[in-house]
Amino acid sequence: MRELRPEKIGKAMEQFIFTMQCDDKPGIVRACADVIGDVKGNIIENDQFTDVNSGIFYMRTVFECPRTEEEIRTQLTDAVAQFSPKLSLRGAEQKRRVLVMVSKQDHCLVDLLYRWRIGELPIDIPVIVSNHVTCESIAADYGIPFVYVPVTTETKPAAEARLLELVDEYNVDFVAMARYMQILSTELCEALSGRVINIHHSFLPGFKGAKPYHQAAERGVKLIGATAHFATADLDEGPIIEQDVRRVNHALTATDLVALGRDIEREVLSRAVRLHSEDRVMVAGHKTVVFTR
């Protein structure tokens, strides 16, 4: 996390994160800079990107300001209305609320919880949802409500409806699928579009489908990886947020690759969750714009 400058804290400045996307036109940055100046704001971080193919402009700005969120929102919204943007504004201290889903394998869940506990991830985890009871005791250790929502072919619609209720009930900003092994329906993916991060245990688009590490072992690849992406109806095709790889060789068995895969999966998912919790990830058609530091 960025450290606040001590002298600024004394002035009751609060930090805000502002993101915006719209068709690229001259004057957008100026309009934003003007209004931030008008509210006595000071820009701390600023990233922008124009996708040449789509002509869409993406921006993320962090600024400190003595005004309230509502005052700023009103002025900003007016100032950029001419660009018909999709925008968001929030206090930087206001943590994203993340619902974590898991099945039986717990390495990603355990890693998210650990990072959350030591304050590395700027999120709240109000509830953990699973289609198995395997991880219930882990949730209990962390004092987080655990909701068991079993899924069969018959109960799937009801289970997904329950998930949406929980998203609502717990005021969830986004969902992290920490090795949740059920495919989401098209309807659910659309209802939560851009709000569900999945970890795919493969370097997409390398090995789609089941048992990617076994596929990798059979194909003899020299690097294996994992991919965090937004969930979409087409399972392996969602916009990619983050990826990483590790070097392997012929001597590693599928079991070895699975073990190594756990390291990559947990790290890639945690990075994606952190990026999204800081509003650094914007969906851009089939891909993402990620304003990393």
Segment interacting with its own copies (CB under 8 A) among 15-23, 70-78, 92-100, 107-115: 107-115
Residue 15 engages its own copies in binding (rule: CB under 8 A): no
236 as an active site residue: the answer is: yes
For position 136 contacting its own copies by CB under 8 A, the verdict is: no
Of 124, 160, 242, 278, the one binding its own copies by CB under 8 A: 242
Out of 34, 78, 93, 165, which residue is the one contacting its own copies (CB under 8 A)? Answer: 34
Tell me which amino acid residue 33 is: A
Q: Which of 94, 132, 136, 256 binds its own copies (CB under 8 A)?
A: 256
Which tokens hold the place of 97? 């609320």
Interface positions, 200-239, toward its own copies (CB under 8 A): 203-207, 218-223, 225, 239
Task: Give the separation between CA 204 and CA 179, rounded to whole angstroms.
Answer: 16
Can residue 288 be called a binding residue for its own copies (CB under 8 A)?
Answer: yes
The catalytic residue among 51, 236, 244, 263 is: 236
CB of 265 to its own copies, least distance (A): 13
Any bridge partners for residue 127, and if so which?
none
Decide if residue 278 touches its own copies (CB under 8 A). Answer: no
Assess 12 for contact with its own copies (CB under 8 A).
Answer: no
- Is there a contact between 176 and 197 (Cβ–Cβ < 8 Å)? yes
When binding is defined by CB under 8 A, the residue of 22, 33, 164, 181 that contacts its own copies is 33
CA pair distance 235, 185, nearest whole angstrom: 10
157 binds its own copies (CB under 8 A): no
Residues in binding contact with its own copies, number by CB under 8 A: 75
Contact 224, 216 (CB under 8 A): yes
Angstrom distance (rounded) from CA 253 to CA 67: 59
Q: Which residues 162-181 are close enough to bind its own copies by CB under 8 A?
A: none
Give the separation between CA 14 and CA 11, rounded to whole angstroms. 9
Phi-psi category of residue 285: left, alpha or beta, with phi > 0 → left and psi -120 to 50 → alpha: left
Cα–Cα distance, 101 to 4 (Å, whole number): 33
Token pair 């001259």 in the structure block, residue = 26
